Amino acid sequence: MYNLLISLGVGIAVALLVKVAGFSIWAGLVPGLLALVGTYIVLARRVASRIQALMTVVQKDLQSQPTSQKDAQSRVDRAVKTLEQGLVYDKWQFLVGPELHSQIGMLKYMVKDHDGAKAAFDKGSSRNYMAKAMEGALFFQRKDFDAMKKAFESATKSGKKESIVWAAYAWCLLQNKDKDGALRVLARGVEENPKDEKLKGSLAALQNDKRLKMKPYEPMWWQFGLEAPPPVMPPMGGRRMQFNTRR
């Protein structure tokens, strides 16, 4: 990566300058190493600040409720184009490209562009637990259950403290008539999160042959698109009554 190469160049240059000044090459190792680390930190922070600026633009564009499916798609298209601007830093800084691809994949998944989401997830980061969980949900919808399990297992490694990951995994297994598998997943989730009341409640429900309810995991659960959110009724303050459905 360019930032690392530049930092190495600066570190070597400093070490050589110390040597030229009449000291041994060993005397230049410490200042050279300090110059390397300092340069890398400065360059990495510069890239991070530029990526954060792009993320801020995306968040502002997506924070309000879309008025229609067309509006939602338009916003996602703009957000994807904004994030794609950050891909120019892929060769400059480690992990930037995979993380941006994960973000792009999640956006495309949430507007049902599953082909586009899959292409982005393929280039995404295994450290982004939400993206890997959504990839698992995508494979579930495509009935590729082996790939689904692989994606969810990756999500539980990086997101082992996130109850939504374990719950979504268990829900998909249940829909595939694998109750024993769902029980094992929830048991693992509780083992990793012994104070998580939501996961303990879900595990107890399954153990008592009750339905796995995902309400405790809202609103993040709706991002998976596996169940339709309930209709929203606005406050009744006037004569007109109107029912709106989230899109």
Residue 235 has pLDDT above 60, yes or no: no
Q: What is the mean pLDDT of residues 47-70?
A: 84
Per-residue pLDDT band for 232 (boundaries 50, 70, 90) equals low
What are the two backbone dihedrals, phi and then psi, of residue 232, each rounded to the nearest 5 degrees? -105, 125
Which has the minimum average pLDDT: 24-28, 73-77, 141-145, 221-225?
Answer: 24-28
- Average pLDDT taken over every residue of the chain: 87
CB 245 within 8 A of CB 232: yes
Query: pLDDT per residue over 153-163, tens digit each?
Result: 999 999 999 99
Residue 5 has pLDDT above 90, yes or no: no
Q: What domains can be seen in the chain, in order of their start residue?
A: 1-125 (no CATH), 129-224 (1.25.40.10)
Pairwise CA distance, residues 153 & 168, whole Å = 12
Determine the pLDDT at residue 231.
Answer: 67
Query: pLDDT per residue over 165-181, tens digit each?
Result: 999 999 999 999 999 99
Q: What is the mean pLDDT of residues 98-119?
A: 94
pTM of the model: 0.83
Residue 47 has pLDDT above 80, yes or no: yes
Across-strand partners of 232? 244
- Percentage of the chain exceeding pLDDT 90: 57
- Burial label, 211 (beta-carbon count in 10 A; 0-12, 13-18, 19+): exposed
Which has the minimum average pLDDT: 28-32, 44-48, 232-236?
Answer: 232-236
Determine the pLDDT at residue 67.
Answer: 74
Rank 63-77, 98-112, 231-245 by mean pLDDT and report only the highest.
98-112
3-state secondary structure of 244: strand
**Which among 92, 97, 95, 96 is positioned nearest to 7, based on CA atoms?**
92
